[in-house]
Structure 1
Amino acid sequence: MVLHAETPILPASPLRRLPVVAIVGRPNAGKSTLFNRLLGEQRAIVDEQPGVTRDRNIATARLGDREVLLVDTGGVDDRPASDVSKAIQEQTWLAAEEADVVVALFDGREGRNPLDGELVRRLRALGKPVIYVANKLDDPKLDAAIADFFALGIEEIVPVSAAHGRGLDILAERLEAALSALAIDAAHEDRGGQSEAIAVAIVGRPNVGKSSLLNTIVGYERAIVNHQPGTTRDAIDTMVERGGRHYLLIDTAGIRRRARVREIVERASVVRAFRAVDRAHVVLLLLDALEGMTDQDARLASYVLERGRPLALVFNKWDAVPPEGRDQNRYRRLLAEEYPTLANFPVAFISAHTGEGVESLFPLVRLLHAGSQKQPPTSKLNACLKTATRARPAPAVGGRPLRFYYVAQTGTAPPTLTVFTNYPENVPAPYQRYLEAQFRQAFGWFGVPVRLKFRARPRRGSGQQMPASR
């Protein structure tokens, strides 16, 4: 691997201190429907089955002139029936504690429930602004049903229908008033230099340890961990800092073969995991060291590369591999033999359970991100092209030689090179891969997809111009 010390790490997307609004309530009160309505898109999974939202789902939403971080949570339950249900409760209350303002959602159609009283009691103990909302009131004639909720000692309840959008303007006004009273300045609050972050998507098959890795990095159970595959249904965003650099970690639902994805909930989670790849600057593909690389893993890697994202292969559960099998070179050799297209991508060996090797992922992420932003001088790109084509001339096209005149970088993230040739549509795929490998090796694009585009050289007098040199 070639390291270029002079290569700067360019700023990633700026992150500001946004006020946090958490939506809490009983299962099936309509929290995810309200979340999606306020967000303006289908971000949270909505299903008739209670308890579908297992982890917190977070997104930026605009309420009037103000941007907020909107947090959807699992339902509040005083008698969780399983370990997963208990973990959902912990996640819900952690979200409420982290929020600046809480929206407490009642099921207005069903009426007051003993759980609502417990919810109000616990929220009061937090000592922060709470806006109480009665949902599923599609018709103003139903608003009288909220009278029973005043017995809980609530001064105001906002009647809404999240499904139909009724009453959301009033809810937005109450949220704006509560946030203004807190005087949170999203544009100027000092967060200790938090002005940029690298977004990192953690993807992989179910139960390879994605959420365990996230929890190990963060230091507490940010994501629910359970031995049941697919426990993480939504993508979860978490900010961490290492060495003065900020990273936005995106944990995703386990991605299965499409034939095995049966439930609507699982299908939506897989789509969301793919979207997480699109949001990321760098992708960590987590693999099970006990199973090795599988065809499904390779397909996931191919998707990441198709999307132009830098990729690292991370073998997890390294601590569970018997001592006689802990040969990293053997793993790399098998990877090159069985999946040659992935042979030159960086490989890491970690244990999310013990923490072994976890911290080494951050320098790797920085290197991959820097590589995706790299812009070598045009003169060096053309010197590389000249050397590569002389060392291995391209095959002839219909008996006529295939010539390459010039190359220029026309994009970053991923690095995109436009190569001018006499027959752009006839460059054989193997030769394209050869040129890509030469550029990758020459400029240290290790683990970074390099895209080549072939164009005909502009004719003299055509008015077309070649890309400018750097």
Structure 2
Amino acid sequence: MSKQPLTIAIIGRPNVGKSTLFNRLVGKRLALVDDTPGVTRDRRMGVGKLADLRFDIIDTAGLEEGDSTSLAGRMRLQTEAALGGAHMVLFMIDARAGITPLDRHFASWLRVQKIPVILVANKAEGTRGTEGAYEAYALGLGDPVALSAEHAEGLGDLYSAIDETARLIGVDPRAVEQHTASDTDDAAEDLVEGDLDFEFEDDEADDDVIAFTEERPLRLAVIGRPNAGKSTLINYLVGEERLITGPEAGLTRDSISVDWDYGDIPVRLFDTAGLRRRSRVIEKLEKLSVADTLRAVRFAEIVVLMIDAERGVDKQDIKIASLVVEEGRALVIALNKWDQVEDRLAAQRGVNDILTRSLPQLKGVTTVPVSALTGQGIERLMPAVIDAYELWNSRIRTSEFNRWLAAVTESHPPPAVQGRATRMRYGAQIKARPPTFTIFTNHPAGVPDSYMRYLENEMRRDFGLAGVPLRLYLRASKNPYVDGRRTQKQRLTEKNNRRGK
């Protein structure tokens, strides 16, 4: 029996519960779930577990009829692509709704495909659901598996169906080792595709050299306003139509990860939903998409902000960039649709001026003019990403940092507090990713923000940290007249008491 990992695709018409079953099998809420039909548009992968069975599971968009150029048609092409890499299919219907003409149409299509099909009647709880499950026999796809993905009912029957089908096709669903980029297990902190609830940890921050592996790839999120070209960029990088693209704004709804190799560096790309102004986000589904995008930013190490060069930089772009800075992620700005810009010099200067005025903490951030559609300039994007990553991991020796601190404070001393001089005594870098420093001073609460910005600007200039988020914290230095137990006055009082004074 083959030891290759079993791959299963879940397909069916919209709103039958495919993403709910996907989340149930991977054991995490990776895919967005809502009552609105057609929430899922791109295919999402994860590692499913069902008792002792292990398999790769693919969540797909709802099957709908439509021209290949329409949105429904492009979603169907993504589903067909998922079938091409799967060993078996879970064809899901809604048992409560009964068999629909669309179910019959795609059941007929599946019967001529050279892939085993397990018919799943979801939402089969209750009398109404049971009747719908019996009705599914009419599709001619064998015995239906009646279950409720939401309430975890009927998973035992699904286990038996998957196990039996896997044996028939000669694939071992109990293979100990699953050679997939999205694999994980309960004992390890490996990453599952789309697992944006992973708590970001900085275990590698103290390493001199960060080694990228399939288990720990470079995590790169692509964010921006709707219709900025995020999905188009990722498709160009990976060399295939992995994500749905088109002229419609807001095609991407949940964050989808795609594994890709840049030379010998494994990269996990995250495509995200477009971020509109908060006042325009009204629907519940869009709010869920925005929350998913924000988790992707926290999960990533490097963020590429896509800006439509034709439209220029607006307040929403600045807010998105500020979000990246607040999360402490390295940032690279991609000016997309550069091939359609007439006065490129003016456009470049305009972007740089706005960023410098609005985000002084990102002064010197790298901007790369690209065309995601034609590929123009994209060869310069990943080198800029790698450079930003290296700066993000920068470490400065304590002795070097303190020599610098003494020089800048002597050149421009901090303001006095209530007539008493403020002294920056010493400091050190406490972590990287992003570079974070602690400075010990006698008046930490009295140092104004303007002086802290001065220190940041000097650090960027002197240590070459342009465009990287910095963290500077002030702490009170220890009073040399305190030994941890008694002050000098207390010791003098005790001495006088011993002398009988």
State the TM-score, normalized to the length of structure 2: 0.80
Corresponding residue to 1:317 among 322, 327, 337: 337
SS in 2 for 1:110: coil
Residue 171 of structure 2 corresponds to which residue in structure 1? 182
1:289 CA displacement? 0.9
Corresponding residue to 1:412 among 432, 442, 448: 432
Q: Supply the distance in 1 between the matched residues of 2:375 and 2:346 (Cα, whole angstroms).
A: 16
SS in 2 for 1:34: helix
Give CA deviations for 1:107-154 in whole Å, capped at 9, x if unaligned. 122233343344345445554454331101113784354233334443
Corresponding residue to 1:48 among 19, 30, 35: 35
Structure with the bigger RCO (C-alpha within 8 Å, sep 6+) is 1
1:203 CA displacement? 0.5
- Give 1:207-356 correspondences, 5 Å limit: 207-323=227-343, 325=345, 328-329=348-349, 331-337=351-357, 339-356=359-376
| CA 1:344–1:138: 2 relative to 1, 3 Å | same
| CA 1:81–1:238: 2 relative to 1, 3 Å | closer
Q: Supply the distance in 2 between the matched residues of 1:439 and 1:101 (Cα, whole angstroms).
A: 57
Moved more, 329-338 or 161-170: 329-338
| Equivalent pair of 2:5/2:171 in contact (CA under 8 Å) | no
| Equivalent pair of 2:436/2:472 in contact (CA under 8 Å) | yes
Residue 131 of structure 1 corresponds to which residue in structure 2? 118
Q: Supply the distance in 1 between the matched residues of 2:89 and 2:154 (Cα, whole angstroms).
A: 17
1:440 has 2:488 as partner? no
| CA 1:66–1:413: 2 relative to 1, 3 Å | farther
Q: Supply the distance in 1 between the matched residues of 2:253 and 2:239 (Cα, whole angstroms).
A: 21
1:24 has 2:11 as partner? yes
Residue 160 of structure 1 corresponds to which residue in structure 2? 147
Q: Supply the distance in 2 between the matched residues of 1:252 and 1:110 (Cα, whole angstroms).
A: 32
Moved more, 369-378 or 183-192: 183-192
Residue 496 of structure 2 corresponds to which residue in structure 1? none
Q: Supply the distance in 2 between the matched residues of 1:424 and 1:171 (Cα, whole angstroms).
A: 62
Identity %: 38
| Equivalent pair of 2:5/2:172 in contact (CA under 8 Å) | no
| CA 1:439–1:21: 2 relative to 1, 3 Å | farther
Give the AA of the match of 2:96.
R
Corresponding residue to 1:95 among 72, 79, 82: 82
SS in 2 for 1:207: coil
Residue 103 of structure 2 corresponds to which residue in structure 1? 116
Cα RMSD (Å) of the superposition? 3.0
Residue 449 of structure 2 corresponds to which residue in structure 1? 429
| CA 1:223–1:350: 2 relative to 1, 3 Å | same
Give CA deviations for 1:236-278 in whole Å, capped at 9, x if unaligned. 2111112211111111111000111122221211111111111
Structure 1, unaligned stretches of length 5 or more? 1-16, 464-470
Give the AA of the match of 1:293.
V
| CA 1:448–1:341: 2 relative to 1, 3 Å | closer
| Equivalent pair of 1:368/1:446 in contact (CA under 8 Å) | no
1:280 CA displacement? 0.7
Moved more, 326-335 or 430-439: 326-335
| Equivalent pair of 1:57/1:234 in contact (CA under 8 Å) | no
Q: Supply the distance in 2 between the matched residues of 1:190 and 1:372 (Cα, whole angstroms).
A: 28
Give the AA of the match of 1:224.
I
SS in 2 for 1:308: coil
| Equivalent pair of 2:124/2:146 in contact (CA under 8 Å) | yes
| CA 1:124–1:422: 2 relative to 1, 3 Å | farther
Q: Supply the distance in 2 between the matched residues of 1:72 and 1:84 (Cα, whole angstroms).
A: 18
Residue 8 of structure 1 corresponds to which residue in structure 2? none
| CA 1:325–1:88: 2 relative to 1, 3 Å | same
Corresponding residue to 1:380 among 390, 400, 410: 400
Q: Supply the distance in 2 between the matched residues of 1:178 and 1:241 (Cα, whole angstroms).
A: 33
| Equivalent pair of 2:362/2:466 in contact (CA under 8 Å) | no
| CA 1:436–1:101: 2 relative to 1, 3 Å | farther
Residue 86 of structure 1 corresponds to which residue in structure 2? 73
Structure whose alpha-carbon radius of gyration is higher: 2
Give CA deviations for 1:48-76 in whole Å, capped at 9, x if unaligned. 33222222244455544666554322111
| CA 1:388–1:300: 2 relative to 1, 3 Å | same
SS in 2 for 1:272: helix
| Equivalent pair of 2:228/2:307 in contact (CA under 8 Å) | yes
1:162 CA displacement? 1.8
1:38 has 2:25 as partner? yes
Give CA deviations for 1:63-93 in whole Å, capped at 9, x if unaligned. 4466655432211123469711111111112
